[in-house]
Amino acid sequence: MTFTVGVIGAGRIGQLHVENLSTLPFIKVKSVADIKVDHLVEWADKYQIEELTTDYKILLQDSELQAIFICTPTTTHANLIKEVAYVGKDIFCEKPISFSVEETTEALEVVQKAGVNLQVGFNRRYDPNFRKLREVVEDGSIGSPHILKITSRDPAPPSIGYILNSGGLFMDMMIHDFDMARFIVGAEVKTVSAVGGVLVEPKIGEVGDIDTAIVTLTFENGAMGVIDNSRQAVYGYDQRVEIFGDKGMAHAENNRFTTVELSTADTVIKDKPLYFFLERYKEAYIEEVKEFVNVCVKGEEVTCSGYDGLQAERLARAAKESLLKGQPVHLDTQTIH
């Protein structure tokens, strides 16, 4: 049996998904749509893509396509989700679903009524290190979670053009960490408190965003969490998580090119963290598309659902509100599942 998919949006992440899907047996990426395709002809030939088009609606009308990957800019996600759901195809959508909780809620209602699968691209859930942290919480190895610490720092700030369309640090960058916090602790967040500033690149402040932030969380089960983000860690892509409970602690360190550590009388030397997210989460990106296929073909449960996407957005919006008001923000229980 062949599982046939289409991809809308062939930028960096769309191409990555096509390349990963091409390594899986029984998967056929038949069609790719993007606003510009002339530069993609050779790439499409390499991955045996039959149709390269600027009209994404052709993919919606193709009865052979069983699922669609949405890898377009965030502002288009919610409407595309609804269009794909209306024609009864399963959906993989990159994060976030939208910049508006209201738009996301509306899209999820359409998905629910259509009865199709929706998986959101929070790839870090599929990293083997972070999955192991979730497992030690689930199996009780560390007891009841008390304190979660997440460090997430980029090696260098993105362009100002990217910042302008990103939704801001909380919605673009820390949203991954909000999802990780819920995933690892296994509980909803009830209170968010944020502080932030412009310590890396003044131009980021000039366009109304921040480049450095610390957010504290309190969870419904009593656990507490702290997340720190920076747009620039000069030593590489810094991704660390620690979970502490009443029976112990577990932590995931940075991935490095090698695990070799050289110790001499003068110094101790080890490799820097991997530099970019595509290197750090290479395996996670593959695992998330594998799971999506299993969800669609085998009926397995979605690990990262539309509800998870919605909750991460709510936390990002609460963090922005807390930053602007200078006080904690309390979240109400969300009823959409």
**What number is the average pLDDT over the span 187-207?**
98
End-to-end CA gap in the chain: 31
77 phi/psi in degrees, rounded to 5: -60, -50
**How far is C-alpha 237 from the chain's CA centre?**
16
CB burial class (10 A; 0-12, 13-18, 19+) of residue 45? exposed
Helix, strand, or coil here: 128? helix
| Count of other CB atoms within 10 angstroms of residue 152 | 20
pLDDT digits (tens, 9 = 90+) for 250-263: 999 999 999 899 99
pLDDT at 191 over 80: yes
Phi-psi region of 260 (alpha: psi -120 to 50; beta: other; left: phi over 0): beta
Chain position carrying tokens 């996407």:
309
What distance in Å separates the CA atoms of residue 287 and residue 300, rounded to the nearest whole number? 14
pLDDT at 337 over 50: no
pLDDT at 336 over 60: no
**What number is the average pLDDT over the span 285-314?**
96
Confidence label for 334 from pLDDT (cuts 50, 70 and 90): very low
pLDDT at 333 over 80: no
pLDDT for position 124 = 96
pTM of the model: 0.94
What distance in Å separates the CA atoms of residue 11 and residue 131, rounded to the nearest whole number? 28
What distance in Å separates the CA atoms of residue 188 and residue 181, rounded to the nearest whole number? 9
Confidence label for 182 from pLDDT (cuts 50, 70 and 90): very high
What distance in Å separates the CA atoms of residue 170 and residue 79, rounded to the nearest whole number? 22
Q: What single letter denotes the amino acid at residue 63?
A: S
What distance in Å separates the CA atoms of residue 102 and residue 221, rounded to the nearest whole number? 27
CA neighbours within 13 Å on the CB side: how many for 269?
5
pLDDT digits (tens, 9 = 90+) for 118-134: 999 999 999 999 999 99
pLDDT for position 291 = 96
What distance in Å separates the CA atoms of residue 300 and residue 293, rounded to the nearest whole number? 9
Ordered by where they begin, the domains of the chain are 3-124+286-305 (3.40.50.720), 125-276+310-330 (3.30.360.10)
pLDDT for position 277 = 87
pLDDT at 332 over 90: no
pLDDT for position 335 = 41
pLDDT for position 287 = 96
Any idea what the Cα angle at residue 324 is, between residues 319 and 327, rounded to 5°?
70
Please check whether residue 92 is in contact with residue 246, taking contact to mean a CB–CB distance below 8 angstroms: no
Q: If you average pLDDT over every residue of the chain, what do you get?
A: 96
Confidence label for 29 from pLDDT (cuts 50, 70 and 90): very high
pLDDT for position 88 = 98
